[in-house]
Structure 1
Amino acid sequence: MSRIARPGRTTAQNRSSTSTLTALLALLLGTFLTGALATPALPSSAVAAQAVKSALIAKAPAKTASSAASTRAQGVTKAASSAAPRSTGRSAVVHSTAYNSTPGQTDATPYITATGTRVRSGVVALSRDLLARFPYGTRITIEDLSGRYSSYLRGRVFVVEDTMHPRIGNTVDVWMGSRSEALAWGSRNIRITAVQ
């Protein structure tokens, strides 16, 4: 059996292009069968989050303590001014717990609130569903409905500067200076009321 060569091409060129085409098809078929054309595996979300965090830290200029404090103060001012207008007298009956500054009860930065301020006596964290009614910067009073007397609440005004995990709802977390104070607070029902 004889092959018919294409006009203008030699038999050697035809064999070369045929062998190249055969090799290419074999490569593609082998690659397809081994799954190399499948979608590449993506890194886990934790790895991706760490990479983003590292990139941001590498690009961020070093700040001094005073500039960090002023940045936090600007953040609180911005959060307070961008919040919906607050009316006094809004109140809600909610569940209350207490927390203190440990990574097990907070996140990796236990002394910094969600608004960027430092935790202190009088700071409360609201569940995210309550933040719509009592946005960051809202000043509130707390009335204990559990029947237990608490001198900690008498005449005090608290400030909403922190938030809680998204899975928690209708809850106010009161910051305490020590674990023993947080345990003494326990879990109780309270009424919070916005004040001017």
Structure 2
Amino acid sequence: MMKQTLRNTAFFVMAILAIAVSMNVTAASKKTMTVDATAYNSVPGQTDDDPWVAAWNNRLRPGQKVIAVSRDLEKHGLTNGAKVKIEGLPGTYTVRDRMNKRFKNRIDVWMEKDIKKARKWGKKKLKIIWGHKK
């Protein structure tokens, strides 16, 4: 009876340790960074030839939560299709566009055709969170 209790206790401890290790792996895979955040629109003058097609050839559609990233952020895993949470904004955004080479440490939140909303947004410093759960 004592041996069985010891085995059960050992199994329980090992299970708890396995859960703790897996939680650490998940936490370690999430990344955060503070970036400059601006906004952009799908209008001529703010985009290339077709304002509804992003840099990686993704067609943007109304209602999507999309961001563009400065190219220096791509080395951190913020590439086409990456999912990003943005401090102060609800929901999850998808990286679908990239910015001109001159920009560094910056994201651009897509605001469709609403230029007034984008101008009101201005420029902010915000924390972004991304990374896959394992």
**TM norm structure 1:** 0.49
Read off the aligned partner of 2:34 and give its amino acid letter: V
Show the counterpart of 1:81: none
Structure 1: gaps of 5 or more residues: 1-86, 145-152
RMSD between aligned residues: 1.5
Matching residue within 118, 121, 131 for 2:74: 131
The secondary structure found in structure 1 opposite 2:129 is strand
More strand by share: 2
Q: How many residues align?
A: 101
| Inter-partner Cα distance in structure 1 for 2:75 and 2:117 | 29
1:105 and 2:46 correspond: yes
Show the counterpart of 1:96: 37
Show the counterpart of 1:158: 93
Structure 2: gaps of 5 or more residues: 1-27
Cα separation, partners in 2 of 1:117 and 1:188, compared to 1, 3 Å: same
The secondary structure found in structure 2 opposite 1:130 is helix
- Output one character per residue of 1:139-186: Cα deviation in whole Å (capped at 9) or x when no partner: 010014xxxxxxxx12x1000110001011110000002111211211
Kept in 2: contact 1:141–1:195 (CA 8 A): no
- Structure 1 runs (4+) deviating above 2 angstroms are none
**TM norm structure 2:** 0.70
Read off the aligned partner of 1:98 and give its amino acid letter: A
Show the 5 A alignment for 1:54-73: none
- Output one character per residue of 1:49-68: Cα deviation in whole Å (capped at 9) or x when no partner: xxxxxxxxxxxxxxxxxxxx
The secondary structure found in structure 2 opposite 1:132 is helix
